[in-house]
């Protein structure tokens, strides 16, 4: 009788020591798998021109499109992007910011870089400027399949998320848009950059953790 009781005690100890933690781990793992992913809005985004030597492939990119005219609004938008998003996200190995601009804007590029550098604090190693022809720029922008056309003069005030598979990501349940679809993030709004772009990047990087472990986004 005592032998049976001892065996039951041993089984209970083994169950509590090994089986219960395993079941708890499996429960947590199943929860991670079921997290909400950021919707794919466009699957056929074109890659960057080959001469730029920068690629969207295997990177999580925040993409901006500038126009020919440098305006206070466009510069402030980039500074907002730098301060609110880049400085807290550049630690990710797969992260990059890509600013695409027409060839006619190339002369003022060094000034723009110096203005970003003046803000200071973080290396711009993962911040890339891609200068290309108007035709290639329009082709790239059109491949995003976002509402409206690219404005050569003023560019776009929104930035976009392109994932590792070169797909456009965004929201389909955005409370601030009539259709609910959010293609791009307004750089003029610090609130949008902080509460939407940063949060959505968290989701994309969280998805990436299933393949490669990344540090947490604060």
Per-residue pLDDT in tens (0 to 9) along the chain, 218 residues: 555 565 666 655 655 566 556 555 555 454 444 457 999 999 999 999 988 999 999 999 999 999 999 888 998 999 999 999 998 998 899 999 999 999 999 888 888 888 888 876 677 899 999 999 999 999 999 999 999 889 999 999 999 999 999 999 999 999 999 999 999 999 999 999 999 999 999 999 988 776 544 454 54
**pLDDT (0 to 100) of residue 117:** 81
**pLDDT (0 to 100) of residue 208:** 76
**pLDDT (0 to 100) of residue 213:** 45
**pLDDT (0 to 100) of residue 63:** 98
Look up the pTM and report it. Answer: 0.80
Sequence-ordered list of residues with C-beta below 8 angstroms from that of 45, at least 6 positions apart, any chain: 56, 143, 144, 162, 166, 167, 168
**pLDDT (0 to 100) of residue 32:** 43
Sequence-ordered list of residues with C-beta below 8 angstroms from that of 212, at least 6 positions apart, any chain: 93, 94
**pLDDT (0 to 100) of residue 70:** 87
**pLDDT (0 to 100) of residue 136:** 96
């Amino acid at each position: 009788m005592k032998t049976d009781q001892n065996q039951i005690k041993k089984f209970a100890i083994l169950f509590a020591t090994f089986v219960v933690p395993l079941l708890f781990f499996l429960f947590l793992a199943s929860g991670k798998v079921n997290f909400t992913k950021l919707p794919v809005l466009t699957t056929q985004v074109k890659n960057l021109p080959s001469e730029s030597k920068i690629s969207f492939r295997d990177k999580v990119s925040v993409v901006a499109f500038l126009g020919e005219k440098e305006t206070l609004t466009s510069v402030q938008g980039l500074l907002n992007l730098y301060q609110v998003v880049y400085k807290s996200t550049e630690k990710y190995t797969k992260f990059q910011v890509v600013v695409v601009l027409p060839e006619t804007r190339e002369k003022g590029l060094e000034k723009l870089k110096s203005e970003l550098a003046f803000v200071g604090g973080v290396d711009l190693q993962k911040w890339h400027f891609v200068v290309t022809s108007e035709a290639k720029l329009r082709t790239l922008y059109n491949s995003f399949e976002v509402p409206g056309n690219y404005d050569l003069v003023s560019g776009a005030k929104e930035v976009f998320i392109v994932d590792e598979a070169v797909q456009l990501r965004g929201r389909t349940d955005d409370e601030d848009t009539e259709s609910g679809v959010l293609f791009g993030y307004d750089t003029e709004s610090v609130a949008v950059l902080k509460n939407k772009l940063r949060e959505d990047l968290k989701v994309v990087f969280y998805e990436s953790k299933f393949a490669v472990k990344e540090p947490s986004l604060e």
